Amino acid sequence: MADLEELVAAHVRDIPDFPQPGILFKDITPLLDDGPAFRAVIDGIRDANGDFDVVAGVEARGFLIAAPLAYAAGVGVVPIRKAGKLPSKVVSASYALEYGTATIEMHADAIAPGQRVLLVDDVLATGGTLLAALGLLRDIGAQVTGVSVILELAGLGGRARLEGWPLHTVIAV
């Protein structure tokens, strides 16, 4: 796993003052641009998470992880989207942001009760979005077998908010 951490670290670039002054943005697009490195990360996440029936990815960059991961595992993929983006009956969860609230949704029939779900996103920061997604999955009766992200921003407290959930991160910075 140390090799995978080094690979990710070598493919994440820092962008100062984005999206606003004082923020140091961790950009994973160089990782996505490198086919062998991206494949290694997808395979590493798949291998670290045991058995699951479906992958749920959080909009938007979580989709970039969820779809190839589901393909590599031979399972389906379910999008968890921002409110108002899905055409059928949905379940939703709202969560607090530093500047207001946001709502995420998924199709109500996308995951059957008891189905084993791996929830993925690109980055774990404060944990608000993932916690809301976990609540959504719990409320519909899904069995969350894991939560996985490529990059954990350790100083922002997301891990503590997800205490009790099986969390896997490729690298923490």
> How many of the other CB atoms lie within 10 Å of CB of 168?
16
Contact 149, 120 (CB under 8 A): yes
Asked if 6 is an active-site residue, the reply is no
Asked if 116 is an active-site residue, the reply is no
Q: Are strands 54-58 and 24-27 parallel, antiparallel or unpaired?
A: unpaired
As given in the structure block, the two tokens for residue 167 are 């969390």
The one catalytic residue in 6, 13, 81, 98 is: 98
CA distance 136 to 104: 9
The one catalytic residue in 61, 81, 105, 152 is: 61
CA distance 167 to 21: 30
Contact 170, 146 (CB under 8 A): no
CA distance 74 to 52: 10
- Alpha carbon of 139 to those of 1, 59, 91, 143: distances in Å? 33, 19, 9, 10
Q: Are strands 143-152 and 167-172 parallel, antiparallel or unpaired?
A: parallel
As annotated, the active-site residues are 61, 98
